[in-house]
Amino acid sequence: MLLCILGSILLGYTDTDLNMLINAYTNFDGSMEQLIIKTTRVPRALIATFIGASLGIAGVLMQSITKNPMASPSLLGVNSGASFFLVIAISFFPKISFNFLVYVAFVGAFIATAIVYTLAGGLKGDVHTINLTLAGAAITFLFSSFTQGVLAQDQKTLEETLFWLSGSIEGRSIEILIMVIPYLVVGWIASILISKKLNILALGEETAVGLGQNTRSLKLIAAVSIVILAGASVSVAGPITLIGLITPHLAKTIVGSDYRWIVPYSGVLGAVFLIISDIGARFVIYPKEVPVGVMTALIGAPFFIYIARKAENK
């Protein structure tokens, strides 16, 4: 992960090296290369690290509570809710600042998830996996349709949001990351704290209850953590797909079935996945760039097909 972060800082359209990176923080001379490192490359690498790690951990939690190896954070309507609220905000308030849009997208993710959780029986305290999956799919399609309807009527909003809707960390400032770091840290800590209980839940719902596990509260904590991690990530970088789906499987291949290891490893692998995708996005149509969400889909699609075929064979 550290090597990937270093590569993200040094690789790109402008040639830079390790000495320039060191001098940018020890002997800043105002040169273009050092300026790019401090204002663009380093923030971009850090954003990719935090967002990738958060999406990876959110994916683990999602697959754990749904017992669905094909599940990802978007199943709770996080992506569609955040996208719809952001598009609405830009369409009706075109002068709104990007910093405020981060919170708007965050709120949209929470509202969409709250609706999904309610429809799945959350108010009754009895959330079944199939109900959660169906409710998530329905709300995702609903909000996605609303978003497309607004964009079809507002060409200007489409132009302003298209890059964000494709998933991108280009041009994001470190201040935006700082805004959401407290939420991400809370999500990370909560995920680590419940990782041991996820091992018990993996034995089965009835077994977990028989061992004294409060599965309802565990699922609720996991769901809130997913929304915090995925919602904050989407609000900064847009709906980046497949990271939360793939990294848990890679982590399990490396460390086995113990969620105390799967959770942190998924975070590290998620960060690596997004950083590598971001580096690739800079060179695939060099000297132009593509949204990193396109690259994650391109790199992750073969893994997705493999996982789907593996699940089908089981």
pLDDT digits (tens, 9 = 90+) for 83-133: 899 889 888 887 778 778 888 888 898 899 889 888 877 666 566 777 777
Average pLDDT in the chain: 87
Distance from CA of residue 129 to its chain's centroid?
Answer: 21
Domains in the chain, number: 1
Tens of pLDDT, residues 26-78: 998 888 999 999 999 999 999 999 999 999 999 999 999 888 888 888 878 88
For range 238-253, the mean pLDDT: 90
Q: Smallest Cα–Cα separation from 161: which of 103, 105, 228, 243?
A: 105
Grouping H, G, I as helix, E, B as strand and the rest as coil, residue 288 is strand
Asked if residue 298 is part of any domain, the answer here is yes
What's the confidence (pLDDT) of residue 277? 93
- Confidence (pLDDT) at 214: 85
Flag whether 115 is in a domain.
yes
Tell me phi and psi for residue 166, to 5 degrees.
Answer: -85, -10
Task: Kindly indicate the confidence band of residue 284, based on its pLDDT and cuts at 50, 70 and 90.
Answer: confident
Label residue 314 by pLDDT band (50, 70, 90).
low
How far from chain centre, in Å, is Cα 64? 17
Q: Which domain holds residue 185?
A: 2-14+42-313
Bridge partners, residue 288, by sequence: 285
CA 58 to chain centroid, in Å, comes to: 7
What is the predicted pLDDT for the residue at 136? 85
Flag whether 30 is in a domain. no
Is residue 19 included in any domain, yes or no? no
Q: Is residue 20 part of a domain?
A: no
Structural domain contains residue 277: yes
Confidence band for 217, pLDDT divided at 50, 70 and 90: confident
* Structure tokens, 7: 């590569």
Q: Spell out the residues 6+ positions from residue 217 whose beta carbon is closer than 8 angstroms to its own.
A: none
Residue-level pLDDT at 235: 85
Is position 31 within any domain?
no
Written as six digits, the tokens of 277 are 């995708």
Tell me if 84 sits within 8 A of 111, measured CB to CB.
Answer: no
Non-local (6+) Cβ contacts of 155 within 8 A are none
What's the pLDDT tens digit per position in 68-82?
Answer: 888 888 878 888 898
Helix axis angle for 129-153 and 155-165, nearest 10°, is 140
**What is residue 207's predicted lDDT score, i.e. its pLDDT?**
86
Span 254-277, mean pLDDT? 95
pLDDT of residue 312: 60
CATH number for the domain that contains residue 136: 1.10.3470.10
Structure tokens at 30: 């105002």
The answer to whether residue 34 is domain-embedded is: no
Report yes or no: 55 and 234 within 8 Å, Cβ to Cβ. no
At residue 194, the pLDDT reads 95
- Global pTM reads 0.90
Render pLDDT for 136-149 as a digit per residue (tens, 0 to 9).
888 989 998 998 88
Is 69:307 a contact under the CB 8 Å cutoff? yes
